[in-house]
Structure 1
Amino acid sequence: MDLPPVGLGTMGIDDPDAVATALAAGYRHLDTARIYENEAVVGEGLAAGLDRAVGAADRDLDREDVTVATKLWIDDLAADTVAPAARESADRLGVDALDLLYVHRPRGDYDPEATLPALDRLVDEGFVRNLGVSNFEIADLDRAIEVIGRPPAAHQTELHPLFFRPDLLDHAREHGYPVVAYSPLAGGRVREVEPVAEAAEAHETTAEAVAIAWATAKEPVVAIPKASTEEHLRANLAAADLELTDAEVAAIDAVEREEELFPA
């Protein structure tokens, strides 16, 4: 998939206006999940954002311009529950089709031989435009490729200066799909990472901007930080344009990574 460098992570967002404001600021990738219990909020924000753009000379925005992604939780993954769960998500989001649908985790009812073909049938029907996976290990990724006969459209995984899996990026490069980095700000802890703070001081910016720039500079990574105020939304979007030096990137790469926020 051709995803923008920075999208909007919506876990914890309960105000549709935050989503509408993000769209007005230039976001074109919205990420949610059934387990977040806010698909309806995201859908309301999407509709409001599209309405605001109608007739606005400086905001030309159509539904087709926005990638709307959601994820099926581990109890949605049996072959006979995949389609009903996906349609319920689409109804809550207020969309006719899901642009990107993920397996949230390869756990619970997940069975690659049953779950993935059920999802792929939704792709064949045109109801799901792209099939993604999330929180997969290399073996899970390889098995998924074997079952569906192609790489996933995207792999979403936790990635930030305190948790980084180079092997997952290598796999994505080898097979030609993007890595979608969630929690790129490590829940705010990036401010405590010394080389991140030093780079922020050198560039007269924030640690959050440095963390996003560090992540999105790593092909083929795109990031989905959460933000709800216009100031933070615009700052996160602009962070992808920040160019770190090779030395700064190397220093962040060398951080001892011990802080996985969402272990399996």
Structure 2
Amino acid sequence: MFDREAYRLGFGTYSLTGEDGIDALATAIDSGYRHLDTARLYGNETEVGTAIETAAVDRDDLFVATKIAHFEEPEKTPEYVRNGVEESLSRLGVDTIDLLYHHWPRGDDEIETVLPVFNELVEAGHVEHVGVSNYTPSDLELADDLLEPSLYAAQAEMHPFLPQDDLRAAVRDRDAYFVAYSPIAQGDVFDAPAISAVADKHDVNEAVVSLAWLLSKDGVVPIPRSETSDHIRSNRDALDVELDDDDIERIDGIDRRLRCEDPSWMEWE
């Protein structure tokens, strides 16, 4: 479904809560975003559900993704996953979650508990597609053995300071999409001379260039997040920016490396 133009640039919702969150979501939908990304951990599935219910577009035209993190449950039971997804369906006000991610895995045991339940949820019609979030290439290999439906998407941090070449290759080998969160490196792209030069060339801002660079990569779907109406709207300009080979080479050549989300317990490969 990400092949549809409206889903190529998603809208991230981390920390968008309360009336301000609902307003931001309404602006996003009104601006043309149709792919909405939330998570149980964000505490805003109810706000996303309100935006879906009040949107002037049909539910079938929206692609709704959420995530469940199993580390919240001390005993790591399959029932926690089933109950959590039921609660997400209720808060979102939908019959089916278009894309359900396993969020922030903490070890093989957790993955081996969660993913078989995802198979059940797809079979029951509660979930359309299955994804994983913050999986390493080794985690993806384990998922291959556990998932019955094909992996639809793997979500991880990606931006010009974290190009994720190895992980993207692993995801691409599985014919899955790479969904890029923190696509403007939480604002750090505004301080990169190479990105600023490309932005000046195309008469757009650095955030738009970063998003256009991500969109130029095969199978990558960025999900920018903003609560500012002007930024929500302007980010969509990335869909109309055609970076040439020199632009892409210039950004690819940035040697700074930055990981914005790096919990101490996570072991990256």
TM-score (norm 2): 0.89
1:28 to 20, 25, 34: 34
Residues in 2 aligned to 1:20 and 1:160: alpha-carbon distance in whole angstroms: 26
Are 1:169 and 2:144 matched, yes or no? no
Unaligned runs of 5+ in 2: none
CA contact (8 A) 2:160 2:251 kept: yes
The alpha-carbon deviation at position 113 of structure 1 amounts to 2.6
Which stretch has the larger CA shift, 247-256 or 187-196?
247-256
Per-residue Cα deviation, 1:87-113 (whole angstroms, up to 9, x for no partner): 111111111221111001111695233
After superposition, where does 1:114-153 map in structure 2 within 5 Å?
Answer: 114-153=113-152
CA contact (8 A) 1:96 1:127 kept: yes
The alpha-carbon deviation at position 63 of structure 1 amounts to 0.3
Which stretch has the larger CA shift, 100-109 or 162-171?
100-109
CA contact (8 A) 2:119 2:148 kept: no
Residues in 1 aligned to 2:177 and 2:11: alpha-carbon distance in whole angstroms: 16
CA contact (8 A) 1:11 1:32 kept: yes
The alpha-carbon deviation at position 231 of structure 1 amounts to 2.1
Which stretch has the larger CA shift, 108-117 or 93-102?
108-117
Residues in 1 aligned to 2:41 and 2:84: alpha-carbon distance in whole angstroms: 12
Q: Name the count of aligned residue pairs.
A: 254
The alpha-carbon deviation at position 235 of structure 1 amounts to 1.2
Where does residue 75 of structure 1 map in the other structure?
72
Residues in 1 aligned to 2:127 and 2:149: alpha-carbon distance in whole angstroms: 16
Residues in 1 aligned to 2:49 and 2:193: alpha-carbon distance in whole angstroms: 39
Where does residue 183 of structure 2 map in the other structure?
184
The alpha-carbon deviation at position 171 of structure 1 amounts to 1.8
Report the 3-state secondary structure (helix = DSSP H, G, I; strand = E; otherwise coil) of the residue aligned with 2:152.
Answer: coil
Residues in 2 aligned to 1:63 and 1:161: alpha-carbon distance in whole angstroms: 33
The alpha-carbon deviation at position 172 of structure 1 amounts to 2.2
Residues in 2 aligned to 1:110 and 1:153: alpha-carbon distance in whole angstroms: 22
CA contact (8 A) 1:32 1:38 kept: yes
Residues in 1 aligned to 2:170 and 2:217: alpha-carbon distance in whole angstroms: 13
The alpha-carbon deviation at position 12 of structure 1 amounts to 1.4
Where does residue 53 of structure 2 map in the other structure?
47
Residues in 1 aligned to 2:242 and 2:130: alpha-carbon distance in whole angstroms: 32
CA contact (8 A) 1:11 1:36 kept: yes
Residues in 2 aligned to 1:66 and 1:93: alpha-carbon distance in whole angstroms: 12
Residues in 2 aligned to 1:141 and 1:215: alpha-carbon distance in whole angstroms: 22
- Cα root mean square deviation, aligned: 1.6
Where does residue 58 of structure 2 map in the other structure?
62
After superposition, where does 1:161-240 map in structure 2 within 5 Å?
Answer: 161-240=160-239
Identity score, percent: 39
Residues in 2 aligned to 1:98 and 1:224: alpha-carbon distance in whole angstroms: 17
CA contact (8 A) 1:78 1:114 kept: yes
Are 1:13 and 2:12 matched, yes or no? no
Report the 3-state secondary structure (helix = DSSP H, G, I; strand = E; otherwise coil) of the residue aligned with 1:249.
Answer: helix
CA contact (8 A) 1:184 1:211 kept: yes
Which stretch has the larger CA shift, 21-30 or 226-235?
226-235
Residues in 2 aligned to 1:219 and 1:90: alpha-carbon distance in whole angstroms: 31
Report the 3-state secondary structure (helix = DSSP H, G, I; strand = E; otherwise coil) of the residue aligned with 1:81.
Answer: helix
Per-residue Cα deviation, 1:188-221 (whole angstroms, up to 9, x for no partner): 1101112111100111110000000001110100
Report the 3-state secondary structure (helix = DSSP H, G, I; strand = E; otherwise coil) of the residue aligned with 2:128.
Answer: coil
